Amino acid sequence: MIAQMKKLMLFMPDSAIDIEVELTALGKLGVMHIMPLQDAKHESIERIDERIKQLKKAISVLDRFDEERNTKADFSEISDYSKMERGEVFLMERVLEAENDRKNLEDIKINLNNDLEWFKNWGTISLKDVKSLKEKGVWIKIYLLDDKELKTVADRDDIQVAGKLDEKNQVILISNNPDEKLDFTEVNFPQSEADQLTDLLKATKQQLKANNVFLKQLSAQKEVLKEGLKERKRRFHVRNVQFGGLSIEKQVRFWKGFIPLDCIDHFVETAEERHWGYIIEDPLPEEMEEVPTLVKTPRWAEKIQPVMDFMGLVPGYKEMDVSRVFMVFFTFFTGILVGDAGYGLVFLLITFLVHRKKKFVKQIEFGLMYTLSASIMFWGILTGTYFGSEVIANLPVLSHLRVEKLASFGGDNIFIQKLMFLIGAIHLTIGHLQVAWKLNYSLKALAQLGWISIIWGLYFIVVQMVLGIDAPGIMLPLFIAGATLVALFSKTGTSFFKGVLSSIGNLPLSIINGFSDIISYIRLYAVGLATVLMASSFNQLAIGEGVTTLASGISAVLVLVLGHGLNMILAAMAVLVHGVRLNMLEYAGHVQVEFSGNEYKPFKIKEKKQ
């Protein structure tokens, strides 16, 4: 269900010292969803944001040493920053300074190696001799030209070709004019002699090694930076809240927000203790779009939340909580769309293996994956589908578990398609029953019963038109009764006749939409069938002619692994596309849920672990 919210106006003294303490207490309470009354702008926010970026950068530098640092020896050479006031700042500065030194040394190393490579390519030219010639009025400039470029200057007396380098000509220009040059990119001389470069490179490598040891030692205290980062993030959060509120004559600052009804007592108790001013009241009608949505669902239905979050589905405050129905039917749809017990087993094993590495995925996602894998296996067993193999499906034990009418091989396709339409009618019926329950004290609930009657009339029409099955005699009375209820009770208000006429005018288009919605559920059959056919095709491609040689055996294994792997990926994508769509569009449309809400996100600060 969607939790009831109250509007909260909160007042605190606008004192630079006190307000941070009070807002920290509010954050630890973690119940108020704050609506900013203005853009949070202040120089302190900018300073904290810059410090957060620096701390993150310093931590990322030390992350390189996670696997190699020796914490037992690291403190012997450097200070223990955890015992210093603002130790994270001093540690951060040393890390960033050392990292900057490392980058400079790396650049120097690259340049020295490039200069040594120059001597290797151009020979042991003495830079002293080049300088001496320059003092005597002779300037030497060197170029790398291809054959076409060389032809344009080959007839000049001041040009000499010294050799070849990677299919380019090493060209030397000798001139008495310092401004004389060729219209090509000049190759620069090194800054030092070859023997000096070797010594400089050796010294640079030693400095890099010492720098690496120093950073490795600092990495033993990375937790100091992490704790500092947490504190800066807390301050950043508090300051944004602080300056997002409005100040009254620099004496009082206030905020507007919302609080769940069941959290009010706890909030009031804290507010009274800390002498906060507050006003708690019902949101005004024009504020309903601002009210955040807090969905409280049973534990078993919480498993669907990652899917809802991924799709950005948040019902509006005045809309209905559809998570339970979403969970049940999404699980059911997943089983049908994939529908292969072998694939379900693979998904189950993958989930189990990933589950052992809990740090990579939120715990709640495992419950969903286990549930979906079980659903796929269950439907696969009912349809006798195991990696798309008819041979496996006909094994004695497995064949007894199969429902013949649902069987992927030799089943009744008409029956399966009719079942899909039936599932659609039931799904949409549940939606209208939910709306009717919500309106149980209103005549509008009767209109929802009318829509249920129309849906079942549409179901019989769909079955007749698509599958050729004659509709029962009750179909017409269903439409008449349903249309009457919808026309009379959809828009109850001051003008009865105006509401009836409006409802009748909208009815034809709504019925057409309902017809297309039920038709949409055939996608469950179509996509599930496509998964089976692709699996069967890969099996035929791999071992259709038999495995007679080692090469054919290896090829068969590759085709089976890659083919079924691709098919499982496509099946998983189909679940996200079609399984979510039937819930988010067809069903949600009948429940009148537009997912137009904004999620309840209270201002919350975690307590420090002692």
Q: Which of 142, 159, 192 is the last residue of a domain?
A: 192
What pLDDT was estimated at residue 610? 44
Q: Please indicate, yes or no, if residue 364 is contained in any of the structural domains.
A: yes
- Residues 374, 506 within the same domain: yes
The label of the residue with tokens 């498993």 reads 303
Q: Please indicate, yes or no, if residue 374 is contained in any of the structural domains.
A: yes
Q: Please indicate, yes or no, if residue 396 is contained in any of the structural domains.
A: yes
pLDDT in tens, 172-198: 999 988 888 888 988 988 888 888 899
- Residues 310, 433 within the same domain: yes
Q: Please indicate, yes or no, if residue 228 is contained in any of the structural domains.
A: no
Rounded Cα gap, residues 27 and 9, in angstroms: 16
Q: Please indicate, yes or no, if residue 434 is contained in any of the structural domains.
A: yes
- Residues 465, 581 within the same domain: yes
Average pLDDT over residues 520-547: 88
Angle between helices 222-244 and 18-29 (to 10 degrees): 100
What pLDDT was estimated at residue 336? 95
Q: What's the Cα-to-Cα distance from 102 to each of 53, 70, 92, 341, 494, rounded to whole Å?
A: 20, 21, 15, 56, 79
The token pair that represents 567 in the structure block = 């098919």
Measured in whole angstroms, how far is the alpha carbon of residue 304 from the centre of its chain? 16
pLDDT in tens, 300-313: 888 888 888 888 88
Please, what's the largest Cα pairwise distance for the chain?
Answer: 115
Q: Which of 165, 192, 219 is the last residue of a domain?
A: 192
- Residues 392, 522 within the same domain: yes
Q: Please indicate, yes or no, if residue 136 is contained in any of the structural domains.
A: yes
- Residues 161, 304 within the same domain: no
- Residues 188, 305 within the same domain: no
Q: Please indicate, yes or no, if residue 100 is contained in any of the structural domains.
A: no
pLDDT in tens, 587-607: 998 998 888 889 999 999 876
Query: Which H/E stretch holds residue 13?
Result: strand 5-13
Give the number of other Cβ atoms within 10 Å of residue 66's Cβ. 9
Q: Which one, of 89, 72, 59, 68, lies nearest residue 216 by Cα?
A: 68
- Residues 579, 437 within the same domain: yes
Per the structure, the count of domains in the chain is 2
pLDDT band at 73 (very low <50, low <70, confident <90, very high): very low
pLDDT in tens, 469-492: 999 999 999 999 999 998 888 776
Query: Which H/E stretch holds residue 450?
Result: helix 444-467
Give counts: helices (H), strands (E), the chain: 23, 9
Q: What's the Cα-to-Cα distance from 557 to each of 390, 395, 551, 563, 565, rounded to whole Å?
A: 18, 22, 10, 10, 12
Q: Please indicate, yes or no, if residue 516 is contained in any of the structural domains.
A: yes
Q: Looking at the DSSP assignment, which residues form a beta bridge with residue 171?
A: 143, 161
What pLDDT was estimated at residue 46? 93
- Three-state SS for 405? helix
User: Domain residues for 504?
Assistant: 299-591
